């Protein structure tokens, strides 16, 4: 079988592939057109961040069985297209965690002591001691946005340097943060109090341009900004304005909205700016680790049928996987939905398996639900293998129970999610042999196909409300393909799930939320 490696990886990984007897073609730097021409020959494709595995590439990949990412992020892989063709997509979560955290700390020191600028000055034959006056980190407040694995390591090291560490993470409970020695605060409070702010969150529609002009206006004068997470989280134009005005004393970015960065980018003209070319994972140790691990995973799958660290399929025997796949899809969709309508940090998950499903081994089903629940804020850093580990890291308690009794359906999954703002309850079943359905949300009965772009609306049950909602969506050129309504006649309220042909626009969401009869509106991606 043939393996194509289209990005640079450590020789250690290449050797593992060759030693297994696989035919290896190492072609880093392939253009998109070149990849399209040859991809049909290969059984496996190993990439890093440079190769774009688009739908077009996947459609051309007639023999492709597995895509392996030597790293974590999968922004460059069309997962939907891979799912449709049954291609397993694997990554190496955590392989570069320490390297990314240490790079953040390196930029932290560089900003505080103006090290890169001082080095450049010295190499130009100057001796400018007064010009490069720095600040101490001792007793300074470090604000961390995203207290996941990388953010937690940065917090631990910063506490060791006697910094005061505060953090914002809506998915971490105050108790979990306290155990790390970190004070959990609101995003606004983090902006107000921090001397240094570092970002460790995925790029999502919620975090895109999270740090914008409004955010900078809430920060201390003379704040320092660091981003080793994802480009696009910081509005770079707003950052430039904040730096030239003096609001931001210095910024260090390892990631940019467009990479490679334009040599004429305004930020590069600023003396108080430090930039590195996406080096967070670029250590000898990290690159060796991710290359070796992805090589082993690809070998195990191609030669033994063993699946590890797949983001789109659990590690199960093929015959059982075929039977359980529709249920896994349902569970993951239920988790995705619950995560997007829940408020606050998740504390506990109770899953009850009712009816015929209670006779199955439900562990992979629970994994699928937890993966879906954590995916909106962890993205590719959570998969079927590590979902329970990621939940444990966030001190989320998981309780499973079974009962053979299911009053209304042959099988039913009931999930009760406890969070800091209360409870969210989602129930689902399989219609026929493979059609997932959401049949209850927070007590409201409905029959919803959970897929694509959706809107969750909680509203007052009054004549004309649904008409107004449809009118607003129509005025924004948003087409409703399906509508599901759950009704509570006693409380005179409804839950409406709308399937849309495209994502709702911010302006449409704003107009809907301003309706006096609408209590809440949330866009869903399922």
Per-residue pLDDT tens for 304-344?
A: 878 888 888 776 766 677 788 899 999 999 999 999 999 88
Angle among Cα 234, 240, 242 to the nearest 5 degrees reads: 90
Shared domain check, 345 and 457: no
Shared domain check, 48 and 28: yes
Shared domain check, 132 and 32: no
Shared domain check, 414 and 388: yes
How many CB atoms neighbour CB 449 within 10 A? 18
Tell me, what's the pLDDT at 318?
A: 65
Shared domain check, 40 and 127: no
Helix crossing, 465-475 with 506-513: angle to 10°?
160
Shared domain check, 297 and 446: no
Give the CATH number of the domain where residue 326 resides.
3.30.1330.90
Low-confidence ranges of the chain (pLDDT < 70): 315, 317-319, 385
Give the CATH number of the domain where residue 504 resides.
3.30.70.260
Residue 125 DSSP one-character state: T
Last residue of a domain, one of 451, 470, 491: 451
Residue 414's DSSP bridge partners are 352, 427
Q: Where are the alpha helices (DSSP H) in 465-515?
A: 465-475, 506-513
Shared domain check, 212 and 189: yes
Contacts of 487 (CB under 8 A, 6+ apart): 444, 445, 461, 493, 494
Tell me, what's the pLDDT at 432?
A: 81
Q: In terms of DSSP bridges, do strands 493-500 and 453-460 run parallel, antiparallel, or are they unpaired?
A: antiparallel
CB 82 within 8 A of CB 89: yes
Enumerate the active-site residues: 230, 259, 278
The Cα 498–Cα 516 span in angstroms is 19
Shared domain check, 118 and 254: yes
Last residue of a domain, one of 424, 451, 478: 451
Helix crossing, 97-113 with 115-123: angle to 10°?
60
The Cα 454–Cα 477 span in angstroms is 15
Shared domain check, 260 and 304: no
Give the CATH number of the domain where residue 81 resides.
3.40.50.720
Domain range for 110: 97-275
The Cα 55–Cα 50 span in angstroms is 16
φ, ψ at 67 (rounded to 5°) = -115, 125
Shared domain check, 291 and 265: no
Last residue of a domain, one of 430, 451, 472: 451
Shared domain check, 354 and 341: yes
Task: Determine if residue 83 is left, alpha or beta; phi over 0 gives left, psi from -120 to 50 gives alpha, anything else beta.
Answer: alpha
Shared domain check, 249 and 137: yes
Tell me, what's the pLDDT at 49?
A: 86
CB 145 within 8 A of CB 199: yes
When divided into structural domains, the chain yields a total of 4
Residue 388 DSSP one-character state: H
């Amino acid at each position: 079988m043939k393996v194509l490696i289209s990005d640079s990886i450590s020789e250690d990984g290449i050797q593992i592939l060759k030693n297994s007897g696989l035919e290896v073609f190492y072609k880093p730097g392939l253009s998109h057109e070149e990849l399209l021409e040859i991809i049909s020959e290969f059984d496996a494709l190993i990439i890093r961040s440079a190769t774009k595995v688009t739908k077009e590439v996947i459609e051309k990949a007639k023999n492709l069985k597995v895509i392996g990412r030597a790293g974590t992020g999968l922004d460059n892989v069309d997962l939907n297209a891979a799912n449709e063709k049954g291609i397993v997509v694997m990554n190496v979560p955590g392989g570069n965690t320490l390297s990314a955290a240490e790079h953040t700390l390196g930029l932290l020191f560089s900003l505080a002591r103006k090290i890169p600028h001082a080095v450049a000055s010295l190499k130009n034959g100057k001796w400018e001691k007064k010009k490069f006056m720095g600040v101490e980190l001792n007793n300074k407040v470090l604000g961390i946005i995203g207290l996941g694995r990388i953010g937690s390591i940065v917090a631990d090291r910063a506490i060791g340097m006697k910094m005061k560490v505060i953090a914002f993470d809506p998915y971490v409970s105050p108790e979990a943060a306290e155990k790390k020695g970190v004070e959990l605060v609101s995003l606004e409070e983090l902006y107000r109090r921090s001397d240094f702010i570092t970002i460790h969150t995925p790029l999502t529609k919620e975090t895109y341009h999270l740090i914008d002009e409004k955010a900078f206006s809430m920060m201390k004068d003379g704040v320092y900004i660091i981003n080793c997470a994802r480009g696009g989280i910081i509005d770079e134009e707003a950052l430039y304005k904040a730096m030239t005005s003096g609001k931001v004393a210095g910024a260090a970015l390892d990631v940019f909205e467009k990479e490679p960065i334009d040599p004429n980018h305004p930020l590069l003209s600023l003396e108080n700016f430090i930039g590195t070319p996406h080096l967070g994972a670029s250590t000898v140790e990290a690159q060796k680790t991710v290359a070796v691990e992805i090589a082993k995973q690809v070998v195990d799958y191609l030669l033994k049928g063993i699946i590890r660290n797949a983001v789109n399929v659990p590690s199960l025997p093929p015959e059982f996987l075929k039977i359980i796949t529709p249920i896994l899809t349902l569970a993951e969709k239920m988790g995705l939905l619950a995560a997007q309508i829940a408020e606050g940090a998740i504390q506990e998950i109770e899953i009850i398996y009712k009816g015929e499903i209670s006779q199955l081994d439900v562990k992979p089903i629970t994994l699928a639900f937890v993966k879906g629940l954590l995916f909106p804020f962890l993205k590719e850093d959570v998969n079927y293998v590590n979902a329970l580990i990621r939940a444990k890291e966030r001190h989320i308690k998981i309780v499973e129970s079974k009962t053979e009794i299911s009053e209304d359906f042959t099988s039913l999954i009931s999930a009760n999610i406890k969070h800091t703002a209360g409870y969210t309850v989602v129930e689902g079943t399989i219609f026929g042999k493979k059609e997932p359905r959401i049949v209850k949300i927070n007590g409201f009965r409905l029959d919803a196909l959970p897929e694509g772009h959706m809107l969750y609306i909680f509203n007052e049950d009054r004549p004309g409300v649904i008409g107004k909602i449809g009118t607003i969506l129509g005025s924004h050129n948003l087409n409703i393909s399906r509508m599901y309504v759950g009704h509570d006649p006693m409380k005179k309220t409804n839950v409406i799930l709308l399937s849309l042909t495209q994502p709702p626009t911010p302006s449409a969401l704003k107009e809907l939320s301003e309706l006096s009869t609408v209590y809440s509106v949330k866009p869903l991606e399922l």
